[in-house]
Structure 1
């Protein structure tokens, strides 16, 4: 590494979350100092609220750390992350979200793993923190992963599709994107559109290219959940949109009429959801309702969209 260049670029992509972002930026001052230099890169993804004004005030800058703010007008989290790829100067590029609080040792834990193992990509533990209210009774433990919670246990190499790394706390050797390509701009949140899947898609691409992915459980970040904004509809919409995207991709340029087995899957999913809700109540049925929403989206994407 050139002595004048940072070892790590921490990239934070944000869109119209000035209230959450302000708290996140303040936590950067609490990070333990690293052995090698790092830089802070903030990508303002077309914000129209108070975000530009907040970022223009350098009072939040961590002491002794180079900070750059870049505006990306093309809306979409993947577009913002791809802009970070172009702007970053570090050997490693570490992403975080604008509603997170990193553990003070978060950055140092990643630095130690990067220096010891020299992986192509890394992922860290994400804990969920309900910052301003009581957890809703319908929010079962199995649903916390859809709010970003992630824990793969002890430190190890990840090599299975079922052990993804999440966008709220993952890092890459910057050069690896020359092999695997950029983030898929069709995936990821776009403004208010509740689209996901870009992080698991790029993780699978890493595996397909034989890249080495290291799990770093000591690199902990806390995803702050604004409890009053939690809605069942968020989870249903997330799965409907995911299904629609995957349905369109699966059909490709084929016939618009879905194969019969998809209708059978849809009917079974809807039947199970209705049965659980009638039998056990709404607090116990959301996971099955999410499956039904997914198949509804999948069928619609197959019929109406083109992959």
Structure 2
């Protein structure tokens, strides 16, 4: 396929086709001397496009595709990639609000770094609006969205606001092995591109969009379970970046359950049950300390942090076990794709280990 210089394909997969968000993206101010083509891929055959979207499609201002069935986020993006021919591809989510100068900032980055494999824009969130959104912030679940504020280069970024060089991507595409609604595919593809080209994506914090809080900031966990599923699917694809860790609460509870006969030699069933129940309690305590350091001192924040973490870890655990990859139990992946030590720890893991040892000693000798 021929590619056109000074050309950008803007690819927006959409399930809602909400004109409130899409029309401002389509009408963003554009730098002179550049060609922009929009590819809006609707992954919901039940959606009826609004009058304005149909008009823009009929006039050729956008390319509008409606999937005959739900193909998922990865295949919808691939459809946009394959339909276009631009030298650069900008992926945007269908519910973000972009700064008016975002296309200018990307063009400036391209003109300064023509050989770059791509760029990671800044995806901001509004200020936390509830205990749950404060938990998301304290748990670090929004960190990758704002990676452009802290790094000059990185191996991957969220597809809510990220640009790829078509020449660097070549035949690589988003993989459909990941959850349909997203989770892992936006790590897998850019990491493969980086490894192939021996380069990293350049962060452009000036290319800014704002992402709304998921579910209007109300508690929900399926998304983060899905992210865990995606993380588990990455493990065998990037074995050189994996390592073993202390058991997380899900793995720890399983180990306590499986070792029950051994524990009964030293503990009564009541004490064994206390040890089992202590796992989430200790995690909530540690999360409360972590959240307090960020200024979030509500116990509810620590509670939500623990549920979010368990949701993520349950998604990872059930996927690993469901695929029969038992050697990946207690295994993690370095998502910055640096080579890790064989076994990693941090102060929080050490604190928890000390608490568990003290608790076990107290239960045995009391």
Give TM class, smaller chain: 0.7 to 0.9
Listed as ranges, the matches of 1:1-307 within 5 Å are 7-15=7-15, 17-19=16-18, 21-51=19-49, 55-58=53-56, 66-73=61-68, 74-118=70-114, 119-129=116-126, 135-140=129-134, 141-143=137-139, 145-146=141-142, 149-153=145-149, 156=152, 158-159=153-154, 164-178=156-170, 181-187=172-178, 189-190=180-181, 195-209=182-196, 210-225=198-213, 229-233=216-220, 236-247=221-232, 266-267=251-252, 271=278, 273-277=280-284, 281-305=299-323
Gaps of 5+ in 2: 238-243, 255-276, 289-298, 326-366
Aligned residue for 1:50, secondary structure, equals coil
Aligned residue for 2:75, secondary structure, equals helix
Rounded Cα–Cα distance in structure 2 between residues aligned with 1:54 and 1:226:
26
Gaps of 5+ in 1: 253-258
Rounded Cα–Cα distance in structure 1 between residues aligned with 2:213 and 2:309:
23
Q: TM-score, normalised by structure 2?
A: 0.64
Seen in structure 2, the aligned counterparts of structure 1 residues 267 and 154 have a Cα distance that, compared at 3 Å, is closer
Which entry has the higher C-alpha Rg, 1 or 2?
Answer: 2
Rounded Cα–Cα distance in structure 2 between residues aligned with 1:60 and 1:109:
29
Aligned residue for 2:107, secondary structure, equals helix
Tell me the CA shift for residue 57 of structure 1: 2.9
Say how many residue pairs are matched.
280
Tell me the CA shift for residue 198 of structure 1: 1.5
Tell me the CA shift for residue 207 of structure 1: 2.4
Rounded Cα–Cα distance in structure 2 between residues aligned with 1:149 and 1:24:
20
Rounded Cα–Cα distance in structure 2 between residues aligned with 1:292 and 1:90:
42
Rounded Cα–Cα distance in structure 2 between residues aligned with 1:264 and 1:66:
51
Moved more, 169-178 or 282-291: 282-291
Q: Is the 8 A contact 2:147 2:157 kept in 1?
A: no
Tell me the CA shift for residue 239 of structure 1: 3.1
Q: Is the 8 A contact 2:122 2:206 kept in 1?
A: yes
Aligned residue for 1:75, secondary structure, equals coil
Q: Is the 8 A contact 2:26 2:38 kept in 1?
A: no
Rounded Cα–Cα distance in structure 1 between residues aligned with 2:311 and 2:318:
11
Seen in structure 2, the aligned counterparts of structure 1 residues 68 and 289 have a Cα distance that, compared at 3 Å, is same
The corresponding residue for 1:255 is none
Q: Is the 8 A contact 2:89 2:164 kept in 1?
A: yes
Seen in structure 2, the aligned counterparts of structure 1 residues 116 and 202 have a Cα distance that, compared at 3 Å, is same
Q: Is the 8 A contact 2:92 2:161 kept in 1?
A: yes
Tell me the CA shift for residue 221 of structure 1: 1.0
The corresponding residue for 1:256 is none
